[in-house]
Amino acid sequence: MSKTLQPAASTSLGNGYAMLIDATRCIDCKGCLTSCKVAHQVPPGQSRNWIKVKDSPRQGRGPGGTRQTVFQPGGCMHCRTAPCLDACPTGATYRDDEGVVQVDRARCIGCGLCVKACPYDARFIHATLHVADKCDFCTSRREQGLQPACVDTCPTHARIFGPVEEVLNAWQQRLAAEGAKPLEGLEMVRPVNLETQPVLAYVNGTSQADWPPKAEQPAAMNVLAGAGKAVYGLGLLSLGAVCIMGINALRERGQEKRETEDQQGERHD
């Protein structure tokens, strides 16, 4: 699936949390990847975030100029228009009050539809828990007043995270102190023909990086998702009713058995 990095029409990232990444600061140390795996016990071979690598011509050097390696850290974009929300048949994928796209493991059935629907390849099925997993902006750390692990670990401070206004103010402070690029240079990774409105954005001339194949949105998935959300609550009630019926049937069978044994005992007497 081809995707483009497009300049944002404005610096508006909506409400809630956002993350700005200055890719020119990334040195590919992989500290963000390692700290995330440790913080969330991500199984070997799986990851909640990534660093994409691409060789690009240096600007201003002419056709025969040298090339530079560009690193692009990333993770779940926590899209304001998130395809994964529509794909989930049970409502396990949801947006919390802070705008963060979350996964309720208790409701997830591990069907993988959300994984296919994500155009950023930011989701996976947890190898040991068998449920959908992804970046959640380190909810457990934020509840303790800490920054996400990837932000805390980055030695070059390539990431800025927080409520939108705080993120924008932090970049303005960086602009004043270090001469960083203005936020008119804000760039977002947008899939072609699909408006996702990500809240993870890049600054300072981030280069286009390679991305995964086109996300799958088969008609059957839409039908399942719509029907699944509608009947999920009814399904739980039905399951409870079945359990009650089963318990009653066992009780009746036990009562019948006791009555039969009593009758047999009376005949022997």
Structural tokens at position 92: 């396990």
- The answer to whether 209 and 21 have CB atoms below 8 angstroms apart is no
User: Amino acid identity of 2?
Assistant: S
Closest listed residue to residue 77, CA positions, set 195, 189, 234:
189
Q: How long is the chain?
A: 269
Predicted model pTM: 0.74
In the structure encoding, which two tokens stand for residue 91, read together?
């409502």
Burial of 222 (C-beta count, 10 Å sphere; 0-12/13-18/19+):
middle
Q: Burial of 66 by CB count in 10 Å (0-12 exposed, 13-18 middle, 19+ buried)?
A: exposed
Q: Give the pLDDT confidence of 41-97 residue by residue, as tens digits.
A: 999 999 999 998 887 665 555 555 666 788 889 999 999 999 999 999 999 999 999
Q: Which two tokens stand for residue 251?
A: 């009780």
What gap in Å lies between CA 139 and CA 58, rounded to an integer? 39
Encode pLDDT of 130-150 as tens digits: 999 999 999 999 999 999 999
Q: What is the dihedral of CA 23, 81, 47, 88, to 10 degrees?
A: -170
pLDDT tens sequence across 83-110:
999 999 999 999 999 999 999 999 999 9
Residues 187/6, Cβ–Cβ less than 8 Å:
yes
Domain 3-217 has CATH 3.90.180.10: no
